[in-house]
Amino acid sequence: MSDLTTWDGARAILERRRAEIAPRCARLWGYYSNEDPTPTPFPSAAAIAAGPARRGYQERGLPRRITGARGGPRREVVVENDIAWRLQTMVDFLFGGPIRVLSTAGDPAARSTAERLLDAVWEASGGIALLQDAALLGHVHGWVDFVVRVDEVALLQMADRRGAEGRGEGTDEERTRRVASAIRIEVVEPTRGAPVMSARDYRVLDGYVLELGSAEASGRQDSETPGWRERAVGWARRSQQASRAPASPAPSAVLEALTPGVRTLFSAGRVIAREESRLLPGVLPVVHVQNLSVPFAYAGQSEVEPLIGLQDELNTRLSDRAHRVAMQSFRMYLARGLEGFGELPVAPGQVWSTDNPNASIESFGGDASSPSEERHVTELREAMDKLSGVPPLAGGVVQGRIGNLSSGTALRVTLMALLGKTARKRVTYGAGIERVSRIVLDALAAAGLLPLRESDRGVRVRWPEVLAVDEEERIRVARGKLEVGVPPDVVLAELGYGHADAGVA
3-state secondary structure 62-102: CCHHHHCCCCCCCCCCCCCCHHHHHHHHHHHHHHCCCCEEE
Residue 39 to residues 56, 74, 357, Cα–Cα distance (Å): 9, 19, 62
Residue 68 has pLDDT above 60, yes or no: yes
Strand order in the sheet with 286-290: 183-188, 143-150, 286-290
CA distance 262 to 286: 12
Statement to judge: residues 435 and 493 lie in one domain: no
Residue 486, phi then psi, degrees to nearest 5 = -70, 135
Convert the pLDDT of each residue in 296-326 to its tens digit.
Answer: 889 999 999 999 999 999 999 999 988 888 7
- Residue 480 located in a structural domain: yes
- Residue 139 located in a structural domain: yes
Statement to judge: residues 142 and 128 lie in one domain: yes
Number of domains in the chain: 2
Residue 189 has pLDDT above 80, yes or no: yes
- Residue 244 located in a structural domain: no
Q: What is the SS3 assignment for 141?
A: helix
CB atoms < 10 A from the CB of 439, how many? 23
Work out the average pLDDT over 370-378. Answer: 89
Statement to judge: residues 59 and 119 lie in one domain: yes
Work out the average pLDDT over 125-140. Answer: 95
Helix (H) or strand (E) holding 408: none
Confidence of residue 121 (pLDDT cuts 50, 70, 90): very high
Helix (H) or strand (E) holding 150: strand 143-150
Residue 249, phi then psi, degrees to nearest 5 = -70, -10
CA distance 337 to 360: 7
Statement to judge: residues 91 and 147 lie in one domain: yes
Convert the pLDDT of each residue in 12-25 to its tens digit.
Answer: 999 999 999 999 99
Statement to judge: residues 108 and 64 lie in one domain: yes
pLDDT of residue 217: 43
CA distance 380 to 375: 9
Work out the average pLDDT over 467-483. Answer: 80
Statement to judge: residues 67 and 145 lie in one domain: yes
Residue 430 has pLDDT above 90, yes or no: yes
Statement to judge: residues 449 and 474 lie in one domain: no
- Residue 164 located in a structural domain: yes
pLDDT of residue 53: 52
Residue 314: name the closest of 399, 387, 221 by CA.
387
Confidence of residue 151 (pLDDT cuts 50, 70, 90): very high
Residue 229 has pLDDT above 80, yes or no: no
- Residue 153 located in a structural domain: yes
Buried b (16+ CB within 10 A) or exposed e, 116-131: bbbbbbbebbbeeebb
Residue 500 CA to chain centroid, in angstroms? Answer: 30
Write down how long the chain is.
505
Using a 10 angstrom Cβ sphere, with 0-12 exposed, 13-18 middle and 19 or more buried, the burial of residue 163 is exposed
Convert the pLDDT of each residue in 154-172 to its tens digit.
Answer: 999 988 877 655 555 567 8
CA distance 381 to 399: 13
Helix (H) or strand (E) holding 362: strand 360-365
Using a 10 angstrom Cβ sphere, with 0-12 exposed, 13-18 middle and 19 or more buried, the burial of residue 75 is middle
Statement to judge: residues 118 and 177 lie in one domain: yes
Q: What sign results for the dihedral spanned by CA atoms 289, 290, 296, 302? A: negative
- Residue 213 located in a structural domain: no
Work out the average pLDDT over 225-234. Answer: 51
Statement to judge: residues 451 and 464 lie in one domain: yes
- Residue 459 located in a structural domain: yes
Statement to judge: residues 453 and 497 lie in one domain: no
CA distance 131 to 110: 26
Residue 1 has pLDDT above 50, yes or no: no
Residue 495 domain boundaries: 469-505
pLDDT of residue 45: 56
Statement to judge: residues 489 and 500 lie in one domain: yes
Work out the average pLDDT over 50-77. Answer: 78
Maximum mean pLDDT: which of 156-160, 289-293, 476-480, 488-492: 289-293
Residue 195: name the closest of 205, 186, 185 by CA.
205
Mean pLDDT of all residues in the chain? 82
Statement to judge: residues 105 and 182 lie in one domain: yes
Confidence of residue 29 (pLDDT cuts 50, 70, 90): very high
Could you tell me what percent of the chain has a pLDDT over 90? 46
Residue 274 has pLDDT above 70, yes or no: yes
Give the residues across from 365 on adjacent strands: 331
Confidence of residue 503 (pLDDT cuts 50, 70, 90): very low
Range with the poorest average pLDDT among 139-143, 146-150, 408-412: 408-412
- Residue 28 located in a structural domain: yes
Confidence of residue 248 (pLDDT cuts 50, 70, 90): very low
Residue 88 to residues 141, 308, 421, Cα–Cα distance (Å): 14, 16, 14
Residue 235: name the closest of 257, 220, 250, 251 by CA.
220
Range with the poorest average pLDDT among 113-117, 163-167, 331-335: 163-167
